[in-house]
Amino acid sequence: MSTRILNWLMVAFAAMLMGSLGACQQRPLYEPEKISYPSAVGEAPKLATIENGILRALRNQNWQVDKLGEIEIIATKRWGNHVASVKVEYDKRAFGIKYQTSRNLRAQAVKESGNRKIVIHHRYNSYVLRLKLEIENQLRLPPRLAVSESRTRPVPIIPRRNNLAPKIRSAGTGFYVSRNGHIITNYHVIRACDEYKVWTAHSGGKKADLIGSDKKADLALLATTQFPLDIATLRSGRSVRLGESVTVFGYPLTGTLSSDGVVTTGNVSALSGLNDDSGSLQISAGVQKGNSGGPLFDESGNVIGIVYSKLNAILLARYTGDIPQNVNFAIKLRPLEHFLNAHNVDYVTRKSSKTLKTEDLVERARDFTVRVECWR
């Protein structure tokens, strides 16, 4: 065998070996492209300015800074026994994020994905994507990415075909269900929207991203980069009882009724909805247009449902000759919990025991209930 052929075989074998070794190395689940910013902000900013913006973004997104280098910052996020870490690399031209996870978290991601070879885990990817968006916000960069409904990958924003500014088309209610800024509302509230804004009783409008939706269940999940003052707790333990007292808080009839929110009280009138829909409750608490997506509370202030519709009294009166009174509906917790679990939302449950005064319940609800605006 000639020396040239022998050398070629040795090189090929070495390449195969290096390839197999490389395949065994742990790789980050999420490593987006570098985002450049000098063209967006004009003159290249100082490194100290960039560093401070990244540190603010990390704190706002609840990442713990473990190492601060000259051109990189390493931070971790922990929940339960899981740990995720990011390395934000930056210079005067661009920044990028590398993402690593602990072994047990990686194993859980594989398990929850059905043991597929390619694992894209919604929760962990969304943390990193939202961190990137927050960094862009802190550095005052124009938004580069919008979030796809499945939240598995970023997709480019499609420019408008005309120069018309977006206008508010409709509004509803929603409420924060996690410390990470997740907001639940109805699908029909955000349907056919180009942009989403949420308002609380304590702050101005904030843009939100659509994380996921379920048309059949009439549920949608939004997320903001701003953390709420408080979050709703879902009731655990005993089931909802017929005749149980309930409270509705929301933002109905925007521009007509109070912008500080409206509260109504009533009872659970039936444990099923129209045509014996087992996924709904019938309630007597007053509901108006704009209450859709809002929380339905029990006497302890825990959420037991999501308001989604009222009976069309005028239409029914045409057919029956009778005007129904206080016939409204809410989605039960089980469909909501299935939806939140599917999107890996860290929501909180609590047993109902202590009875709150209505005014105390509403005071707390104002901290996490939002008005959801649909713009297009």
**Binning pLDDT at 50, 70 and 90, where does residue 16 land?**
very low
Collapsed DSSP state (helix, strand, coil) of residue 20: helix
pLDDT at 36: 66
Burial class of residue 39 in the structure, from the number of CB atoms within 10 Å of its CB (0-12 exposed, 13-18 middle, 19+ buried):
exposed
Residues making up the chain, counted from first to last:
376
- Check residues 90 and 305 and name the one with the higher pLDDT: 305
Cα separation, 140 vs 142, in Å, equals: 7
Cα separation, 309 vs 355, in Å, equals: 27
pLDDT of 269 > 50? The answer is yes
Give the CA distances from residue 149 to residues 18, 198, 245, in Å, rounded to whole numbers and listed in that order: 39, 18, 36
pLDDT at 24: 34
- Check residues 127 and 108 and name the one with the higher pLDDT: 127
- Highest average pLDDT, of 133-142, 200-209, 283-292, 306-315, comes from 283-292
**Binning pLDDT at 50, 70 and 90, where does residue 136 land?**
confident
Report strand pairing: 348-351 vs 233-236.
parallel
Instruction: Give the chain's mean pLDDT.
Output: 76
- Check residues 300 and 108 and name the one with the higher pLDDT: 300
- Check residues 27 and 244 and name the one with the higher pLDDT: 244
pLDDT at 23: 31
pLDDT at 81: 59
Cα separation, 315 vs 103, in Å, equals: 58
**Binning pLDDT at 50, 70 and 90, where does residue 321 land?**
low
Weakest mean pLDDT among 116-120, 129-133, 137-141, 228-232: 116-120
pLDDT at 145: 36
pLDDT of 356 > 90? The answer is yes
The runs of H, that is alpha helices, within the chain are 3-24, 38-41, 47-60, 103-112, 122-138, 187-190, 313-320, 333-342, 358-365
Average of pLDDT values for 240-265? 88
pLDDT of 317 > 60? The answer is no
pLDDT of 70 > 50? The answer is yes
Average of pLDDT values for 220-233? 89
**Helix orientation angle between 47-60 and 122-138, rounded to the nearest 10 degrees:** 140
- Check residues 82 and 212 and name the one with the higher pLDDT: 212
Collapsed DSSP state (helix, strand, coil) of residue 294: coil
pLDDT at 43: 56
Average of pLDDT values for 155-181? 71
Domains of the chain, first to last: 25-144 (3.30.310.80), 166-376 (2.40.10.120)
Written as one letter, the residue type at 135 is I
Cα separation, 184 vs 340, in Å, equals: 9
pLDDT at 77: 80
pLDDT of 371 > 80? The answer is yes
Report strand pairing: 82-90 vs 35-36.
unpaired
Average of pLDDT values for 259-270? 92
